[in-house]
Structure 1
């Protein structure tokens, strides 16, 4: 069955305070809409010090979404876990797990912007060690039992609702990240289409006798969809919004970072041809779902790059009315 997902990061290019407030409110209200309409998942993201306000606090947003919905899954994709205090992070995720009755999944990313580490007083060169520490601490903390942490005995309460622990995946695009996931007995979230990483994960897991894990493999091109009756008009009106996000993301990339959302476009026309951002009619959405098959997904990005909130609502309502009934059938 096709997985239907909404992506949110609350980007507001002008950093207008009223616009930012409207986007955070719309994130919650659109999530409630998605919950009632039968969507499967909402994804939230973390970045710090971004000129466009890219959300720095997805756990707070997740709390609002989980507290306002009944069945919708929420994925933090990704949480930059080395930037967080391990014990406080364990507590916060445990509370979110209770609030959402087990609907939360965390993708633990290591990050790729040294500026974020500087801002939060963390050493970029220590990011691997910090990631190991925080993930090991989470797993120990969520047992609910006392454990040794930095030379002292601590205990984190309450224990999470989900056993043995809330949904946790190691994110990344490197073999180092794969080895970390297998060593800790966790699934691996591949940030780019790289079958070799999946094969490497499966090989290491087999060697370790780890049978409960898996590695995801995103499609070669992840299409972030704006559903519309008139794609040409939508590109003319909103192409600069899509380009803003694409250029922001591209400006953060380095040669050793691989991502399913990486774009080299400099104009809306180039971005449209690239296919990462797509304005699709309902019929085209259904054709894409059919082409991807039962394990495919459709990803909507209703507030992308400063897209007007009203335009985001138009996209969601059109998708609910003209796409969702046929996916369910």
Structure 2
């Protein structure tokens, strides 16, 4: 078991270093890449700038000194990242780390809320479909799950934005919260805190609904398949013969065992949706990490783009790592197998 944990931790560290190395070489070695593009922009806007000053500006924004050897640049780049220094944004005011720190909680809020709600809807619908296998409800719900799961979330976002954002203006069409709302989280001022939280949830409603519409179907189908498989197990027949209450059988034996295999996919989905929020945040002009990723791409803000890419990929790797390690804790059978196989 200890060997399994060590191997997974080593894989995580190796993955993070690979991502850090990828961002470095994208910045430093690609012909016409960020370093050359930034140098050209600075030269065009400041023709009288000296070469030394030009190099210092490039280093401040990209965390690399163009004239130093590659291995020295790499060591400096990695050491700066460990200190939380991702360089300065070209298009936004402030450092990349400050922008990401301000945007990440909003992306996590939208993605986390959507995943949690979609997961609860999915497992509930999946369990009902399994218990009514072969019925009209099962057939209709299965078709609905497949259809909703097949449409990208940004398509739902565009439709919702057009209907309840512009045609019937029930929801705001952009922003994190209203301009007249003061962002306040203070236990001493519960009224102002509630007003801010409610307004933030109101602005996040359409992005959250868009993600829920595409996410619930996959979990419903997964829960249905797992439940049907478990319903045919011999130990459930024994439980029924022993006269155990149906509620206890449904919750303790079927529900718990059917949900366990979906735990890993939920954590991984959270990680991937942080990256998948790029388009949905752009559709709703919601300033999260995905929104700034597109802004960096449109404005050729390479430090910002690379910093968000690094954070998103690292988050996915950590989500997979947590799923690997904790699944064995909630399902001892998988933990033993995972440990022995490692």
TM-score (structure 2 length as normaliser): 0.21
More helix by share: 2
More strand by share: 1
CA radius of gyration, larger in: 2
Q: Which has the higher contact order (CA 8 A, sep 6+)?
A: 2
TM-score (structure 1 length as normaliser): 0.21
